[in-house]
Amino acid sequence: MSGNTSFAAALVARRDLAFALRGLAMALGSGLLWGLNGVVLDKGLSQTPFADPALWLAAPLAASALHDVLAGLWNLLFNAATGRMREIGRSLATRPGLLVGLGALFGGPLGMGGYIVGLRLAGPAYVLPITSLYPAVASALAAVLLGERIVPRAWLGLALCACGVAVMGWSPPQGAEGSQFYLGLGMAALATVGWGAEGVLSTSAMDLLDPPVALNIRQFVSGAFYLLVVLPLVGGWPVLARAVVSPGGAVIVAASVIGAGSYLLWYRAMNRTGVSRAMAVNVTYALWGVVFSALFTGAALTAGVWLGAAAIVGGMMLVVGDPRRMADLRATDDSPVRAAP
Amino acid sequence: MTAVKAPLRMAVMAVLETGEPLTAADISGRLALNYPGERQSAPEAVEDHLQALRAVGLVRRAAAYLAGERLIESYCITGRGRARLAWSRWGAPAAGSGPMDKPCNAPGGES
């Protein structure tokens, strides 16, 4: 009898470990696809109609809208194929559904919009290091709002990840600071908070909602906000109309398929492994982006890239820690696992 | 007029709200009445929902034992789970105020 009990306990531990490891694999897959997505998006943005310098603001926002709306459609097809269609309507009418919608506004228009405008006004040398802090912001919010367990070692790992992303993406500042430079820094800070808040709001909602369904709600809200509010404000509709029948638009369509897969894995990973671990593993996108750039565009792998890669991998390992300790993600008063005969 | 059904993950929690420890197959059987033919209410999908709910402390494993070579696990809702479920419903009473708010017991009183 006691042999059976200990065997059952061992099976339970193995099942919990497998669940956690699948979550980590999803986060890694999400980072890999996001790195590839960045390279493909970059190619699309360098083509007609997005490459026109006069469209510096409208073009990236139109591309972003096209990308997000299409990614939402691909995810909708996934949900239809896996029998989740009816769940979308049911989930919309709940408080967690509302939380996902709020997260969408933080992550889409505020996060991505702030990032794009920040890049334009302040340049990547300043914006990339600021926005690389978003996993740390998300983890701080997750610790406070979700009661997620984050040990000092994990904070060190998050700092290392942020440094790695910053080192990898750093380029020397060019020219004097413009009059809108500080506005650009502010926009980058807004993007950082926006992405962090999206992660925490969505993860909180996914306690009670299926991740692919929550993601679809996020994509619908973000897509609608882009199409109905952002694009009319920046004159993006004509760009979008031109993009639909242009080579650049076709590349964005391809990117949206990759992006949809990345989003899906990211949301599932956050639900399974917690915000801090999922984000720490997801930021490997910076590393994968450089690898794919080197493979497909012949970009050089500089010393800075290797240094940044080492910092990201080291930081990620510190945050993830021992997967066997991932069985219970949150601090709770209820007793955890008990095996009984 | 038909009431809007709850999302499945919330429905899984609602089934556990009675305080009775249940397996994924038990829960799937009860959900089949309200969600007939839906793939997401199959035992395997319910098991996946339970694992995710357990990781964030909304349900806990009440018992785990072997039936032949199969691992059988039963789950209970936690206090935190009750509170989150109550919060998720529009106009729902506060957690702990309902008549169904019983403690969770493992089968055979071995909690």
Q: Which of A334, A335, A337 to mutate to test the interface with B (most CBs of B within 10 A)?
A: A334
Cβ-contact A215, A7 below 8 angstroms = no
Residues of B in contact with A89 (CB under 8 A): 4
Least confident of A254-268, A321-335, B2-16, B74-88: A321-335
Q: Sort out which chain B residues have CB atoms less than 8 A from A12's CB and list them.
A: 61, 64, 71, 73
- Report chain B residues whose CB lies below 8 A from the CB of A11: 64, 66, 71
Cβ <8 Å between A94 and B89: yes
- Determine the structural domain holding residue B69 and report its residue range: 8-92
All structural domains of chain A with their residue ranges: 21-320
Mean pLDDT, residues A239-254 taken together? 92
Answer whether A94 sits within 8 Å of B10, measured CB to CB.
Answer: yes
d(CA B15, CA B30): 8
Domain count along chain B = 1
Residue A241 pLDDT > 90, yes or no? yes
Higher pLDDT, B36 or B101: B36
Q: B70, B88, B90: best mutation site toward chain A, by most A Cβ within 10 Å?
A: B88
pLDDT in tens, B51-63: 999 989 999 999 9
Task: Determine the Cα–Cα distance for residues A286 and A275; give it in Å rounded to an integer.
Answer: 18
Mean pLDDT to the nearest integer, A172-178: 60
Beta bridge partners of B71: B66
Q: What is the mean pLDDT of residues A115-130?
A: 80
Instruction: Read off the pLDDT of each residue in A119-129 and give the average, rounded to a whole number.
Output: 78
- Structure confidence by residue, pLDDT tens digits, A151-164: 898 899 988 988 88
ipTM: 0.84
| Model confidence, pTM | 0.87
Long-range contacts of A318-322 (CB under 8 A, 24+ apart): A318/A153, A318/A154, A318/A156, A318/A157, A318/A160, A319/A153, A319/A154, A319/A157, A319/A158, A319/A161, A319/A276, A319/A277, A319/A280, A319/A281, A320/A24, A320/A157, A320/A277, A320/A280, A320/A281, A321/A151, A321/A153, A321/A154
Give domain status of residue B107, yes or no: no
Closest in A84, A329, A334 to B79, CB measured: A334
Q: Determine contact, residues B99/B53, Cβ cutoff 8 Å.
A: no
The answer to the question of residue B102 being in a domain is no
Report pLDDT for B99: 40
> What average pLDDT is seen over chain A?
86
Shortest CB distance from A84 goes to which of B40, B54, B64?
B40
Chain B hits for A8, Cβ within 8 Å = 64-66, 71
- Evaluate whether residue B111 is within a structural domain: no
- Say which CATH number the domain at B79 has: 1.10.10.10
pLDDT given for residue A261 in this prediction: 97
pLDDT tens readout for residues A71-87: 999 999 999 999 999 99
Determine the Cα–Cα distance for residues A85 and B51; give it in Å rounded to an integer: 22
B39 touches chain A (CB under 8 A): yes
Please tell me the predicted confidence (pLDDT) of residue A147: 85
